[in-house]
Amino acid sequence: LYIGGQWVAPDAGGTLPVIDPATEEVIGHIPAGTGADVNLAVSIARATVKSGHWTHSTGAYRAGFLKAMAAKVRERKTLLALLECQDCGKPIDEAEWDMDDVATCFEYYADLAEKLDDRQYQPVDVGMSDSFHVKVRREALGVVALITPWNYPLLMAVWKVAPALAAGNCCILKPSELASLTCMELAAIAHDVGLPPGTFNVITGTGADAGGPLSAHPGVNKVAFTGSTATGRKVALAAAANLRPATLELGGKSALMVFEDADVEKAVEWAMFGCFWTNGQICSSTSRLLVHVDIADSFMAHLKIRAESIRIGDPLQTGVRMGPLVNKQQYDRVMGYIKIAQDEGAELLTGGGRPSHLATGFYVQPTVFLAKPNMRVWREEIFGPVLSVATFTSEAEAIQMANDSEYGLGGAVISADPARCKRVVEALECGIVWVNCSQPCFCQAPWGGIKNSGFGRELGEWGLEGFLTTKQVTTYISSDTWSWYGPSKL
């Protein structure tokens, strides 16, 4: 574990195996942190906050470290990508892309950290310039808990770590135990660039043993969580009991709507990317495909051909476009949904099982079902490369079907008609809308959902604001005695 600038063994001395999902073999171990480790990290982070060394430093000072970390990530890109690939099963090309995004994210927040210095003491006009001046400071929250998932292990961590540090917080990162290796490497990078001890701490371990105590610790000023809706609820309740704010990035069942005027071949590429990239394990995956009845047949025919051409295999091979799911539990879950789909009467278009040429590893073929809106495969988040398709006849129907979900993370519309795209964008009940694409994500834009997909926005300036607290400073500048209680007779 990395706590207070030191590598320490977990208090209870346990470890968790790291399993390569492509080979199903144990390739290493991570420490199994528990509540005692959490307590230590929080108390050290708190002491670091109180010292003011990091929290009261300039944004420029903190930016220096963020830039240094970005540089180290770029330098170690190959190693990090290899580790990521073996830890979570994502294809090496995607892992390398992630590492580029990680470095970009650090650089972006370094820039915002520098700009923070100029924004300090922002004046607020209250119309009483003779008697009161009002200014606003933006300050760190203090100790923040960051709980991150396994689907983009390092990137999801840095989406939180970079702005949290930029804002001046001291953080405790608890990555998913299913893929913690690159986060441990991040600790090594932090150490190597001389990030002050206590500002960045990493505790690996299970949700129950490490994540739970961390989210419930009263010494934590905020909990930022990305993961499943079920765990998110627990985290939110724990923070609420302590009257601490939380942000939640949860699941989704986002809809991709393809209208009759769409270029079918182009749309098919996005439909695949939207649900098969990252082995389908994306919170924002457009896993519900709504296609206009007029083009449905040609769309499905083309989709089948293209999906069956996807190269699925050992993720370490460059050019592979689909690897294994992250672990056996997820594999069983996704296979379970495939069976549910079949039992529900959904029609299989392509995929539906393990690729015949891959006897080992948690591989599932890119799978497409023709489904109906009342089916579980239509409504529930599967978190695998399983695309459910339904048809629509009108724009109103498509919007109604898209919004008929407990989730509200992403949505996508493909159409050649810009006015239609605008209408659909405004009507979709979600936080991210893609027009004529699906999934590309830019670190300058606010990321997050509504409804059961959670609340709060990451990335962009919103990501930084989420880790700051606003303090107003109101100064009385008049020399008059305040006379609310009448003149003093003294």
Partner 1 sequence: ADSSVKAHTRRHITIKTGLYTHTPFSHYLPNIMVELSAKDYKLYIGGKWLDPALAGKLDVINPATEEVIGHIPAGSEADVNLAVEAARATIKSGEWSKATGAYRAGFLRKIAAEVRARQTMLAELETKDSGKTLDESNANIAEVAVTFDFYAGLAEKLDTMQDLPIPSGSDDFSVTVRREALGVVGLITPWNFPLLMAAWKVPACLAAGNCCILKPSELASMTCLELARICHDVGLPAGVFNVVTGLGMDVGAPLSAHVGVDKISFTGSTATGRKVATEASANLRPVAMELGGKSPMLVFEDADVSKTVEWAMFGCFLNTGQICSATSRLLVHKKIAPALMAQLKLRAESIKMGDPIESGVRIGAIVCKSQYEKVMGYVQVGKDEGAKVLTGGARPAHLPTGYFLAPTVFTGVTPEMRVWKEEIFGPVISVMEFETEEEALRLANDSEYGLAGSVISSDPTRCERVAKALECGVVWVNCAQRFNVQAPWGGIKNSGFGRELGQWGLESFMTMKQVTSYVSPNTWGWYPGASQ
Query: What part of residues 431-460 is at the interface with partner 1 (CB under 8 A)?
Result: 431-437, 440-442, 444-448, 450-452, 454-457, 460
# residues near partner 1 by CB under 8 A: 85
| Subset of residues 274 to 333 that bind partner 1, contact rule: CB under 8 A | 277, 306, 309-311, 319, 321
Dihedral sign for Cα atoms in the order 173, 176, 177, 179:
negative
Beta strands in 243-328 (DSSP E): 246-249, 255-258, 288-292
**How does 329-347 read in b/e, with b if 16+ C-beta sit within 10 Å?**
ebbeebbebbeebeebebe
| Subset of residues 27 to 56 that bind partner 1, contact rule: CB under 8 A | 56
Amino acid at site 210: A
Active site residue 283: yes
* 239 interacts with partner 1 by CB under 8 A: yes
Minimum gap (Å) between residue 66 Cβ and partner 1: 18
Instruction: Give CA–CA dist 140/350, Å, rounded.
Output: 51
Minimum gap (Å) between residue 431 Cβ and partner 1: 6
Q: Which of 26, 27, 79, 124 touches partner 1 by CB under 8 A? A: 124
| Subset of residues 207 to 226 that bind partner 1, contact rule: CB under 8 A | 221-222
* 233 interacts with partner 1 by CB under 8 A: yes
Q: Which stretch binds partner 1 (CB under 8 A): 118-126, 178-186, 324-332, 386-394?
A: 118-126
Q: Which of 110, 316, 421, 464 touches partner 1 by CB under 8 A? A: 421
Q: Which of 154, 157, 159 has the alpha carbon at shortest distance from 95?
A: 154
Catalytic residue among 249, 381, 395, 458: 249
Q: Which of 219, 205, 203 has the alpha carbon at shortest distance from 144?
A: 219
Q: Which of 119, 266, 328, 339 touches partner 1 by CB under 8 A? A: 266
Give yes or no for a contact between 62 and 166, defined as CB atoms under 8 angstroms apart. yes
Catalytic residue among 170, 283, 430, 443: 283
DSSP code per residue over 94-105? HHHHHHHHHHHH
Q: For partner 1, give the closer residue by CB, 309 or 329.
A: 309
* 490 interacts with partner 1 by CB under 8 A: yes
Q: For partner 1, give the closer residue by CB, 115 or 372.
A: 115
Instruction: Give CA–CA dist 406/286, Å, rounded.
Output: 15
Active site residue 88: no
392: which strand partners? 292
Instruction: Give CA–CA dist 285/252, Å, rounded.
Output: 7
* 171 interacts with partner 1 by CB under 8 A: no
Catalytic residues: 249, 283
